[in-house]
Amino acid sequence: MQNFVYAYPTKVYFGKGAAKDHLAGILRDYGPNVLLAYGGGSIKKNGIYDEITGILKAAGKTVTEFSGIMSNPTFAKVEEGARLAQDCKADLILAVGGGSVIDCCKIVAAQAVTEEDLWEVEMVRHGAPQGKPIPLGAVVTASGTGAEMNGGAVITNEKAKIKGGMFAAAPQFALLDPDYTMSLPRMQVLSGAFDTLSHAMETYLGRSDRDNVSDEVALAVMRSTVVNMRTLLKDIHDYTARSNLMWTSAMAENGILKVGRVTDFECHQIEHQLGAYTDCNHGQGLAVLHPAYYRHIAGDAADKFARMAQAVWEIGPAGKTNQQLAQDCVQALTDFIAACGLPSKLSQLHTKAEITPALLREVADSTNLLANGPRQLTHDEVYEILMECL
């Protein structure tokens, strides 16, 4: 174990009826002005908007709406939200949505209390936001990212063509009702769950020392995510599987898997830059990239991949070397992605830009290269990986 400090900043209310049962009570701790943030309108179709605004009204809150937060939220959208939060003197920002809405609001909460440009502060000067952010609460309508239980936010700067991780305060509370996710399109359910699997794999493949409990927890999260995704392939609305996945999603990104060890997250770095250039869906981008990335690095962490082969994919070790088991592990992951109907080629992603070798070269050259995975890649190798996914 490496040295660490660990604290849980977010109070979680989990289960059917979470908002109906708890939101009114939670709101008593906050002042009268609420900035209600949401995405492109799904919450108006599935009744969540009516339920939440009904509770806010009954609690006597003055509500200002911040709507239209897009998938892969932009820094321009953060600035719009920060202006609204200042104008309405928000006492609380309530983010109702998936990772995109929650991430955008984390930075809105910090940007609204400073005159400094937080992109400049964090992404250019590598500093930390100053000032006490506006309190934030999350009502999760799409699970997978785990954004509701951490302080990280992934924001796109369209001008700079960078999709990068910023940091602010985590939500003070999060309401997780699996029923709120039932209206999600099938592909978003599966790509969100794949994102969770990716988080656990990326964490596990960072360097850890012998017999590390965080490795054991990561393997359990992977196994549970795969089992519940398989259940969803038979019945996408299976409540038990949806609720299990909602919690594995939070578990994978609430920091518990990361204590006392470093993490990999190189595949996320590549996907984020792919997102910056193409606006592709996060979980689907990861599904395309993971097998190719792992084919490149499996030999550098054969023992860990071999353990994953057995613990997650139930591959018997008899007569096999760890190198062979590592290859089997990558193949099992590839087969699972295909069985889920997730994309396996870049051409299957819905993108706003045509994916060409020239574009992939730019993606590769602007990808962050991290040092804590099985082996540090070069920009040329990132390009090779991307080209293998064409």
Contact positions toward ligand NZQ, by CB under 6 A?
39-43, 46, 71-72, 97-101, 103, 141-142, 144-147, 150, 152-154, 180-181, 183-184, 188, 192, 195, 253, 268, 282-283
Read off the tokens for 44: 């108006």
Nearest distance, CB of residue 199 and Zn ion, angstroms: 6
Q: Which residues bind Zn ion (CB under 5 A)?
A: 195
Binds 91: which of Zn ion, ligand NZQ, none (CB < 5-8 Å by kind): none
Closest CA to 248 of 279, 270, 227: 227
Nearest distance, CB of residue 320 and ligand NZQ, angstroms: 32
Query: Would you call 255 helix, strand, or coil by DSSP?
Result: coil
Place of tokens 């939200």: 81
Comparing CB distances to ligand NZQ, the nearer of 181 and 327 is 181
* Spatial separation of the C-alpha atoms in residues 107 and 229, rounded to whole Å: 31
Instruction: Write the DSSP symbol of residue 346.
Output: G
Nearest distance, CB of residue 252 and Zn ion, angstroms: 9
Which positions ≥6 away from 138 have C-beta within 8 Å? 94, 95, 96, 102, 105, 147, 148, 171, 173, 174, 175
* Spatial separation of the C-alpha atoms in residues 323 and 327, rounded to whole Å: 6
Comparing CB distances to ligand NZQ, the nearer of 10 and 224 is 10
Q: Select the residue whose beta carbon is closest to Zn ion and give its number.
A: 195
* Spatial separation of the C-alpha atoms in residues 19 and 381, rounded to whole Å: 47
Comparing CB distances to ligand NZQ, the nearer of 100 and 225 is 100
Binds 99: which of ligand NZQ, Zn ion, none (CB < 5-8 Å by kind): ligand NZQ
Binds 146: which of Zn ion, ligand NZQ, none (CB < 5-8 Å by kind): ligand NZQ
Give the distance from CA 325 to its chain's centroid: 28
Comparing CB distances to ligand NZQ, the nearer of 78 and 315 is 78
Nearest distance, CB of residue 143 and ligand NZQ, angstroms: 7
